[in-house]
Amino acid sequence: MKHPSPQAPARAEHPRGPVALSHVSLLGIGSSVPERRLTNADLARLVDTSDEWIRTRTGIGERRILAEGQVTSDLGAEAARRALANSGIAPEAIDVVLVATATPDQPVPCTAAFVQEKIGARNAMGFDVDAGCTGFLYALQVGRALIASGAYGNALVIGADALSLLTDYQSRETCVLFGDAAGAVVLGRERGRARITDMQLGLDGRGAHLIQVVAGGTARPTSAETVAAREQYLRMNGREVFRFAVDKLAGLTRELCARNQLELDDIDLVIPHQANGRILDAAASALELPPERMFCNIEHYGNTSAATIPLALDEALRQGRIGAGQRLILAAFGAGLAWGGALLEFEAD
């Protein structure tokens, strides 16, 4: 006996035709972190370090780590559900699911497929974006452009990473830095919480060797030898990355202001990629920006890669740090070497 096909859920109606990039809005936001905490005291039992050593060099006190059996798409799906609830849009009305991640559930298929199924966004197309810690802003620009083209009405953009799985817990230099999290935003063409006024992205492959996982790709497939050499873990040149990061955070902020005929005093809050507290302090000093205008939550989460920007944005909103009519700059840098910035203008009441 043949069963009737289930009727597709109703879809949101959107005006047809392209719109200006500046007319794409942020409609909702959400984030998710694992329950498990990995404190500096816990790390001191694994490597030669201490709470004082870690805090002095990174500003980190603890980070969140995936539970047994938990995967990247679990974090991404929960952040997506919260962003959807915040936007008032049903999962079935989502047209595009984009997941920025360097730690997919598995090589094939894309993590967006797992997120789509978990949240019930059955009418959406989707794919992953890998630009390291800058991935969320790359995905944000892709979602923005797809909506502006007129081909799609809305998009769910997720930054989700579980860098604990790429962390060598025998390396004091890197194991203190990374944690796991996800953040998500819903984009659309109608008036929302904030307009994405401008974005700027860049990449300099000459620095690709500064942040990398050597093994696991076609250049060096995983083998007994690569595992023995611990080449499946993330390595980076901290000194060079520090210099690059400070320059980019300050430069992006200034350039976004200049491109939009704004002064730095016109920016109410800068939300940077949460890589290292010393980088954020140095960038704030270079910009002569007071601490209250540079958002920092790295103490509680560490570096969560593509999740740091949406996680910090969600937290800043929930803390009341962002009000109607305010302007924000989001700025990130990461493996590639990639970088990106965004200017947001929150709608006046």
In this prediction, residue 291 carries a pLDDT of 87
CB 242 within 8 A of CB 278: yes
From 158, 192, 226, give the residue that closes a domain: 192
- Is residue 1 situated within a structural domain? no
- Phi and psi for 26 in degrees, rounded to 5? -90, 115
164 and 277 co-located in one domain: no
CB 328 within 8 A of CB 268: yes
- The more confidently predicted of residues 348 and 106 is 106
- Is residue 268 situated within a structural domain? yes
List pLDDT tens digits, range 20-66: 776 899 999 999 999 999 999 999 999 999 999 999 999 999 999 99
- Is residue 219 situated within a structural domain? yes
Q: Which of 48, 38, 77, 296 is nearest to 178 (CA)?
A: 38
313 and 205 co-located in one domain: yes
Show the tokens assigned to 171: 């390396």
Is 296 a residue of the active site?
no
- Is residue 220 situated within a structural domain? yes
From 132, 158, 192, give the residue that closes a domain: 192
- Is residue 4 situated within a structural domain? no
- The more confidently predicted of residues 21 and 206 is 206
List pLDDT tens digits, range 67-94: 999 999 999 999 999 999 999 999 999 9
In this prediction, residue 3 carries a pLDDT of 37
Range of the domain at 258: 197-346
pLDDT at 7 over 80: no
- Is residue 13 situated within a structural domain? no
Integer Cα distance of 46 and 25 in angstroms:
45
In this prediction, residue 14 carries a pLDDT of 52
Q: Which of 85, 107, 79 is nearest to 97 (CA)?
A: 79
Q: Residue 331 sits in a domain of what CATH number?
A: 3.40.47.10
183 and 58 co-located in one domain: yes
In this prediction, residue 349 carries a pLDDT of 60
- Provide the b/e sequence for 209-243 (b: ≥16 CB within 10 Å): ebbbbbbeeeeeeeeeeeeeeebbbbbbeeeebbe
Integer Cα distance of 217 and 201 in angstroms:
25
In this prediction, residue 17 carries a pLDDT of 67
Is 273 a residue of the active site?
yes
224 and 263 co-located in one domain: yes
53 and 78 co-located in one domain: yes
78 and 175 co-located in one domain: yes
Which of 110, 133, 175, 257 is catalytic? The answer is 133
β-strand partners of 24: none
- Is residue 7 situated within a structural domain? no
Mean pLDDT within 131-159 = 97
98 and 157 co-located in one domain: yes
Integer Cα distance of 116 and 71 in angstroms:
14
In this prediction, residue 23 carries a pLDDT of 84
Question: What percentage of the chain carries pLDDT values higher than 70?
Answer: 94
From 152, 173, 192, give the residue that closes a domain: 192
159 and 231 co-located in one domain: no
- Is residue 216 situated within a structural domain? yes
185 and 289 co-located in one domain: no
30 and 148 co-located in one domain: yes
List pLDDT tens digits, range 290-329: 989 999 999 999 999 999 999 999 999 999 999 999 999 9
Show the tokens assigned to 317: 């909103």
In this prediction, residue 173 carries a pLDDT of 87
Domain count, the chain: 2
* pLDDT band (50, 70, 90) for residue 18: confident
237 and 204 co-located in one domain: yes
Distant-in-sequence, close-in-space partners of 122: CB < 8 Å, separation ≥ 6:
8, 9, 91, 92, 116
186 and 130 co-located in one domain: yes
pLDDT at 207 over 60: yes
In the chain, how many H helices and how many E strands?
11, 13
In this prediction, residue 72 carries a pLDDT of 98
Show the tokens assigned to 251: 């430069």
β-strand partners of 157: 98, 185
In this prediction, residue 238 carries a pLDDT of 86
